[in-house]
């Protein structure tokens, strides 16, 4: 067995990339997604692979992006949330509903917080108490616990969350409750110490509840997927990408589905990080534009930037998550800004007679009007077709676009605005680019990073079409288009390592003698990490550990994550605090070196490297691209005029080829646009590098 298969389930297409380790060749496929039954699209893609002569027994590993959890909370699966109960400390049942006093819409007196995931009658109290130092003040009352379990059973709950006060310091009571619930009810159970061992009661409780609710949904999905794989004769192990960009085995994904709840966009960022290392680019912006959304992320020093908390089911505005509008989840996740901007984004006229693009999308069904699948609304794909940037054949002729249907759809909006169809299409593309520019600024400018110092790696089916004009808006000087941009997220899966994130609360004010205490805390956590990974079958020499400390000025409410040295000596502690001051300066524009600094938690990230494909290097070409790759010339709209534009077949471009804009480069999974004043060059790995012309 020597074929690694990676599948990325997107909102419009399901992408499959298979890598044959013997021949060092890739097989790529795209099929339509099935949002209500995502496993159906996955199996269709796999069946298409097997129809190409690949034997099921040759598949050695199956890598998968798990989008089920996120889609459940976005209401995209037409599933109801499983009935859940919360068992918590006496007097704490309303923490889940009180939450924090965040007002997402400050001046909206009619704003309502999202409903609690568990109704009050199923938030059950148990008499017990552990203090803030982990001491047992009141032992758990067996009768009280039994009553709570009986009540949960009376309502036939499918899953139970357990979150006791201060259990992050001492989980003994949660362990006892977990054992009792499992024994008496036989349902899914999640205790907070298993998913979030940090302070802040509301966030810990919310994370535990979300994980408990996801467990039956993800478990059933994975069970269906495994059954279908076995039906096809595939016995390879399944691994799921976590929200932080690493691989999780299927058992871990079922036990802690919250760790993979935002795995969908992570794989592409991992691919961008790998490519940045190969190309020697220290700072890159990842830009992923597909059929439904556009996502941006920053990769610094070949490492994606990671957050420690996200919100599920919340609202977003211009790519920015509105705090307090969803359900907080504390799990490491790649720092992403996402906007509703993709090929299927709908173009419409406002009631005031203005032009607007998004946020509604035509999705996979019915899709853009030009797909001929029943879509009536004009979309960005229709606009790109009308202005000549998109050809009438996609997926090597597997999808034919109808210009007449695109014209008809756009005409309805154009007539209302008194615009020409082409004028409307071009204006819509400019508006969309402005929406996407805001998302890029969120992960760069608002993080203290200057986008003009970054290169941009663009992928997704629509990303290469828009990236040059987006880069011009942001003053980004260098663009890289990977060899298969429309399948790049699936490619990223093939290059992904295992990653496990561990955290332990460590609240202390740093002074000159704190180094020994901090070092001991890290060693204790690392010992536990190595033990658990050893139980999973990983050898010590294959595990790479990195350290991170949550730090803040004494009295602040929130922390910054600062990388820590592998051994914390007195000098190492000084370097750590200096790094915190510098990061605070970069993030907020000021620092206070004279102020005391405290830690709130320590983190250990464990990487286990996997075997990866070796990229093939190609020799420089002797021929010019016009002689072997030119397909045709067609009229395309650039700036404010129509120009006769050369169209190239990317599969025939060779290392060293240079193309001056305006130009269009077409391939199976995407189309790349080279505007006026820009030039493209093909590197030895057949990536396209785009920069301003001389």
pLDDT band at 511 (very low <50, low <70, confident <90, very high): confident
Give the pLDDT of residue 68. Answer: 65
Angle of the 515-535 helix axis to the 570-588 helix axis, nearest 10: 90
The residue that leads in pLDDT, 554 or 309, is 554
| pTM of model > 0.75 | yes
Give the pLDDT of residue 320. Answer: 54
Q: What is the pLDDT of residues 102-128, one digit of tens each?
A: 776 777 777 777 788 899 999 999 999
Is 611 a residue whose pLDDT tops 80? no
Is 207 a residue whose pLDDT tops 80? yes
Tell whether domain 265-497 is in CATH 3.30.420: yes
CA 678 to chain centre: 30
Give the pLDDT of residue 79. Answer: 61
Give the pLDDT of residue 299. Answer: 92
Non-local CB neighbours of 239 within 8 Å, separated by 6+ positions: 61, 62, 63, 64, 247, 248, 249, 250, 498
* Average pLDDT over all residues of the chain: 87
Give the pLDDT of residue 307. Answer: 83
Q: What is the pLDDT of residues 244-256, one digit of tens each?
A: 888 888 888 889 9
Q: How far apart are CA 568 and CA 550, in angstroms?
A: 15
| Domain extent listing, the chain | 65-261, 265-497, 499-608, 630-692
Give the pLDDT of residue 674. Answer: 95
Give the pLDDT of residue 341. Answer: 81
Give the pLDDT of residue 70. Answer: 63
Give the pLDDT of residue 399. Answer: 79
What average pLDDT does the segment 422-434 reach?
A: 91
Q: How far apart are CA 45 and CA 25, in angstroms?
A: 18
Q: Are 361 and 340 in contact (CB under 8 A)?
A: yes
pLDDT band at 364 (very low <50, low <70, confident <90, very high): low
Architecture of domain 499-608: 2-Layer Sandwich (3.30)
Q: What is the pLDDT of residues 14-36, one digit of tens each?
A: 888 888 887 888 888 888 777 66
pLDDT band at 396 (very low <50, low <70, confident <90, very high): confident
DSSP per-residue string spanning 455-469: EEEEESSSHHHHHHH
Is 684 a residue whose pLDDT tops 90? yes
- How would you write 224-286 as a 3-class SS string? HHHHHHHHCCCCCCEEEECCCCCEEEHHHHHHCHHHHCCCCCHHHHHHHHHHHHHHCCCEEEE
């Amino acid at each position: 067995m020597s074929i690694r298969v990676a599948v990325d389930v997107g909102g419009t297409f399901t992408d499959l990339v298979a890598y044959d380790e013997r021949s060092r060749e890739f097989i790529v496929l795209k099929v339509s997604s099935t949002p209500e039954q995502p496993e159906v699209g996955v199996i269709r893609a796999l069946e298409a692979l097997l129809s190409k002569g690949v034997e099921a027994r040759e598949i050695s590993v199956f890598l998968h992006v798990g989008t089920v959890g996120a889609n459940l909370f976005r209401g995209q699966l037409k599933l109801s949330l499983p009935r859940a109960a919360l068992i918590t400390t006496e007097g704490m049942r309303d923490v889940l509903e009180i939450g924090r006093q965040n007002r997402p819409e400050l001046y909206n007196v009619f704003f309502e917080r999202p409903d609690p995931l568990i109704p009050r009658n199923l938030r059950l109290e148990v008499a017990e108490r552990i203090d803030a130092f982990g001491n047992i003040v009141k032992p758990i009352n067996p009768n009280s616990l039994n009553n709570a379990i009986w009540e949960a059973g009376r309502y036939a709950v499918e899953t139970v969350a357990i979150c006791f006060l201060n259990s992050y310091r001492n989980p003994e009571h949660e362990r006892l409750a977990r054992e009792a619930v499992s024994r008496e009810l036989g349902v899914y159970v999640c205790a907070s110490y298993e998913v979030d061992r940090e302070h802040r009661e509301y966030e810990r409780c919310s994370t535990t509840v979300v994980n408990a609710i996801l467990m039956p949904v993800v478990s059933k999905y994975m069970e269906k997927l495994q059954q279908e794989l076995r039906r096809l004769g595939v016995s390879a192990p399944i691994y799921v990408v976590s929200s932080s960009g690493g691989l999780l085995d299927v058992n871990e994904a079922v036990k802690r589905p919250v760790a993979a709840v935002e795995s969908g966009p992570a794989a592409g960022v991992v691919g961008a990080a790998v490519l940045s290392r190969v190309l020697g680019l220290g700072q890159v912006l990842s830009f992923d534009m597909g059929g439904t959304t556009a996502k941006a992320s920053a990769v610094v020093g070949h490492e994606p930037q990671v957050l420690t908390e996200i919100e599920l089911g919340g609202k977003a505005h211009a790519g920015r998550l509105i705090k307090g509008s969803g359900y907080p989840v504390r799990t490491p996740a790649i720092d992403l800004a996402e906007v509703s901007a993709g090929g299927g984004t709908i173009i419409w006229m406002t009631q005031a007679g203005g032009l607007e693009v998004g946020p509604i999308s035509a999705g996979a069904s019915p899709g853009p009007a030009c797909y001929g699948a029943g879509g009536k609304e004009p979309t960005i794909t229709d606009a790109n077709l009308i202005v000549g940037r998109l050809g009438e054949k996609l997926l090597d002729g597997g999808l034919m676009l109808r210009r007449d249907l695109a014209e008809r759809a756009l005409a309805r909006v154009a007539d209302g605005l008194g615009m020409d169809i082409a004028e409307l299409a071009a204006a819509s593309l400019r508006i969309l680019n402005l929406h996407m520019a805001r998302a890029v600024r969120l992960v760069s400018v608002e993080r203290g990073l200057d986008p003009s110092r970054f290169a941009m790696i663009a992928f997704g089916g629509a990303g290469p079409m828009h990236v040059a004009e987006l880069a011009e808006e942001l003053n980004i000087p260098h663009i890289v288009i990977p060899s298969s941009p429309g399948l790049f997220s699936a490619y990223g899966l093939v290059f992904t390592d295992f990653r496990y994130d561990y955290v332990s609360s460590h609240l202390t004010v740093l002074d000159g003698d704190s180094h020994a205490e901090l070092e001991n805390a890290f060693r204790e956590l690392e010992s536990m990490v190595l033990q658990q990974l050893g139980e999973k079958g990983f050898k010590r020499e294959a595990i790479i550990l990195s350290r991170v400390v949550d730090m803040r000025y004494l009295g602040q409410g929130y922390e910054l994550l600062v990388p820590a040295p592998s051994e914390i000596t007195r000098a190492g502690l000084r370097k750590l605090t200096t790094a915190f001051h510098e990061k605070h300066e970069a993030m907020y524009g000021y620092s206070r070196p004279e102020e005391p600094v405290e830690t709130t938690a320590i983190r250990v990230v464990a990487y286990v490297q996997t075997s990866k494909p070796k990229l093939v290097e190609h020799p420089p070409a002797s021929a010019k691209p016009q002689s072997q790759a030119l397909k045709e010339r067609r009229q395309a709209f650039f700036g404010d005029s129509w120009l006769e534009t050369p169209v190239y077949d990317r599969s025939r471009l060779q290392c060293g080829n240079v193309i001056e804009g305006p130009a269009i480069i077409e391939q199976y999974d995407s189309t790349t646009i080279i505007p006026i004043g820009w030039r493209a060059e093909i590197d030895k790995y057949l990536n396209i590098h785009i920069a301003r012309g001389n």
